[in-house]
Amino acid sequence: MKKTVVLGMSGGVDSSVAAILLKEQGYQVIGLFMRNWDSMLNNDILGNPDLKTHDICPQEEDYNDAVKVCEKLEIPLHRIDFVKEYWDYVFTYFLDELKQGRTPNPDIMCNKYIKFDMFVREAKKLGADYIATGHYARMQDGKLLRGVDQNKDQTYFLSQLSHEQLENVLFPVGDLEKVKVREIAEKYDLITAKKKDSTGICFIGERNFTKFLENYLPNQPGDVVEIESGKIIGKHIGLMYYTIGQRRGLNIGGSKDRMFVVGKDLKKNVLYISYGNTDYLISDSCIIDTVNLNVSLHPERCTAKFRYRQPDNEVELTYLDDGNILVSYPQGVKSVTPGQACVLYVDEQCIGGGIIKEVRKQGKKLWYL
C-alpha cells in the first residue's frame, strides 16, 4: 500500500512543488490548508468588538490558490481552522514579548505549537503516515539539516521542534534551489509558479506594523536619548516599534543624521540611539531560555545564528543549573537582541536553540538592554 502524506498547503509555490515531488515519489498525498488568522476576528475570542482588524491577511486568496493547485494535481484538499489556538499560543506570546520590550519571532512559535503539533493531530485523523511542509530544510537519519539553498534555509524557524516532533516529517523541497522549485511549478503550469513569496508576519501582511499594533497595545511615547551624551534628542512612539540595530524608519526629531538604535530602558521608557559608535551594539555572550535541543548530545562548541540569514558565529556553550544556556562568543557579535532566537548548529545539522533572555558584555548584563 502507498504511504499517506498529509501536506501543509499554504497556497504558495513551495508547498505546491512539494505536492508534485511527493506524488512523483509514489506517496498518496492529501492537502491540508490551515487558517490561523481571521481578519474579522470573532468577538468571542477577542472580547473586544471595536478592534480594527479588517483586511489583515489575504488568506482567502491563498486558500483559493491552494484549491486550484490541488485540483490540477488531483489531490484532495481539506481545510482546518486554528484561529483560537493561534491566538492562544502564538499571538498572545507575541504581544507579551512586545510588552517586555523584546523582539519576538512568532513564526518559530507557530511551527512549535500549530504546524508541528495541532496540524499533526489533524493529519493523523486523515490517516497520515507522514506529514510534509514546504520548508527549505532536510531530514536525514533523524537529523534536521539545513536546506540545500543556503539563502532560503529555514531551519532557523524549526529550532524549537523536539526530536519527537521531527519524526515522520518530510521536507520535499529541501534538496532544491529556489530557482529549481519555480521551474518545476512553471513546468506544471501552476498558478503559484510566479507568485510572490510571503514576507513579514502573517497576521500583519502588507499592513502598516504601527497601525496594526495600535489595535492591541496602547502607544507609550517617551524620550529618545543619545547614549554618549545623555541628551534627549526627540520622542519615540513606543519602545515596541524599535529593535536593536535598527537604522531605517526611525523618524526621530526630524534628524537626517545617520543614527541607529542601541538599547531600550523599559522602566524609564527610554530609547537609546547612537550616531555611529557600533561598540554599543557588540556583545560577547548571552543567556538563552526556552531551550530546546532535538539531539541527545550537548556540545561545548558549535555555531549559532542570532538572526535569520545571519552568518554562523563560533560559540561556546555553558549549560546552567536552571536549564538555560550561557552562549559565549569572545569575537563579539552585533545586535544580539532579547526575544530573538539563538539557533545552534553542528556543521549542517540544526540541533535546536533557545530564546535570547539577556545580553552581556565582559560578564555584565548590558544596562541599556
Reply yes or no on whether 342 is catalytic: no
- Which residues, in sequence order, are CB contacts of 116 under 8 Å at separation 6+? 131, 158, 161, 165, 166, 169
Terminal CA-CA length for the chain: 57
Reply yes or no on whether 202 is catalytic: yes
Which is the catalytic residue, given 110, 286, 342, 350?
Answer: 110
Helix 59-73 to helix 13-24 angle (10° resolution) is 20
Q: What angle do CA 136, 140, 142 make, to 5 degrees?
A: 110
- Taking alpha carbons only, the member of 110, 125, 149 closest to residue 4 is 125
- The span from the CA of 271 to the CA of 232, in Å, is 10
Which is the catalytic residue, given 57, 70, 202, 286?
Answer: 202
DSSP-derived secondary structure for 178-189: HHHHHHHHHHTT
CA distances from 245 to 28, 102, 145, 359 (A): 47, 13, 29, 14
Amino acid identity, position 226? E
**C-alpha torsion sign, points 4, 5, 11, 13:** negative
| Residues 104 and 112 sit within 8 Å (Cβ to Cβ) | no
Q: Which residues are catalytic?
A: 110, 202
